[in-house]
């Protein structure tokens, strides 16, 4: 009787310990995704599928303070080039002052960077305050090739990255699914494992219902994302059955104007 009681208590303790681990794993994973989803700008969704989610988020915002011909322009961004990693850049966007919509164009930092030290002086000639902040002004090129009409002085610009989240077969634990993150141009990294087969992304496009896939024609109407991060830990020694945990997070987004 004593040994039987001890065995039951030991199994219960092991089960609860594993359950806490599964809970923490699901919570951390969803908090990471939710934080990035909240940083999306209007029209920031690229792919909205059941197991794949790709979003655009700003690396840095700036303002055109000087135009040079039809292609080049000087911009000011807080912190300058040291405030973002150019390797993470997926493109550049310009905001329509009348509608608030963003025009996204794919481009690398090496393509648009004109690397001209005269940007601060030229913007100062246009009235910009460059005192103690000369390094925050830099020149970009190929604006006329990327945008029509070409952006003008005073237009708000954004350098953005694209991040893809995937729920797929785990590399770390082949008996479960893993949650992977990949920044455009970088390698795919598994930052959470132990997801159950029910784990998925869901999307709301108005009203109260969610769908697990949104087509490109309606992707601009997404106003909330639900992360279903159900977790599963296959039975281990001392535990009679799989440890499962249901975890869902709803994230409101600023995708609409």
Residue 257 within any structural domain of the chain: no
Residues 183 and 109 in one domain: no
Q: Write down which residue in 161, 181, 216 finishes a domain.
A: 161
Number of domains in the chain: 2
**Could you tell me the pTM of the whole model?**
0.81
* Section 123-133 average pLDDT: 92
Contact 42, 257 (CB under 8 A): yes
Residues 16 and 87 in one domain: no
Residues 140 and 182 in one domain: no
Q: Write down which residue in 161, 177, 195 finishes a domain.
A: 161
**Alpha carbons 8 and 5: distance in angstroms, whole number:** 5
Quick check: helix, strand or coil at residue 175? coil
pLDDT digits (tens, 9 = 90+) for 30-66: 888 898 998 888 889 999 999 999 999 999 999 999 9
Residue 172 within any structural domain of the chain: yes
Which residue would you say has higher pLDDT here, 77 or 237?
77
Quick check: helix, strand or coil at residue 228? strand
Range of the domain at 20: 2-53+163-252
Is the preceding omega at residue 149 within 30 degrees of 0, hence cis? yes
**Alpha carbons 253 and 58: distance in angstroms, whole number:** 14
């Amino acid at each position: 009787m004593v040994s039987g009681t001890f065995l039951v208590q030991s199994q219960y303790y092991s089960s609860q310990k594993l359950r806490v681990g599964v809970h923490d794993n699901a919570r951390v994973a969803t908090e990471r995704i939710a934080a990035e989803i909240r940083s999306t700008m209007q029209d920031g969704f690229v792919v909205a599928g059941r197991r794949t989610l790709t979003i655009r988020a700003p690396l840095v915002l700036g303002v055109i303070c000087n135009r040079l011909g039809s292609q080049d322009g000087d911009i000011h961004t807080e912190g300058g080039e040291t405030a973002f990693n150019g390797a993470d850049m997926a493109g550049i966007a310009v905001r329509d002052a009348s509608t608030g919509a963003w025009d996204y164009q794919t481009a690398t930092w090496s393509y648009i960077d004109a690397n001209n030290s005269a940007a601060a002086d030229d913007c100062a000639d246009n009235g910009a305050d460059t005192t103690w902040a000369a390094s925050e002004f830099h020149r970009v090129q190929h604006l006329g090739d990327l945008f029509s009409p070409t952006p003008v002085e005073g237009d708000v610009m954004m350098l953005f990255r694209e991040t893809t989240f995937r729920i797929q077969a785990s590399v770390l634990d082949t008996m479960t699914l893993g949650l992977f993150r990949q920044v455009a141009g970088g390698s795919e990294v598994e930052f959470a494992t132990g997801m159950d087969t029910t784990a998925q992304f869901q999307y709301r496009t108005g009203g109260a219902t969610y769908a697990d896939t949104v087509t490109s024609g309606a992707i601009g109407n997404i106003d909330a994302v639900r992360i279903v991060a159900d977790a599963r830990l296959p039975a281990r020694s001392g535990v009679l059955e799989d440890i499962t945990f249901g975890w869902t997070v709803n994230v409101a987004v600023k995708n609409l104007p």
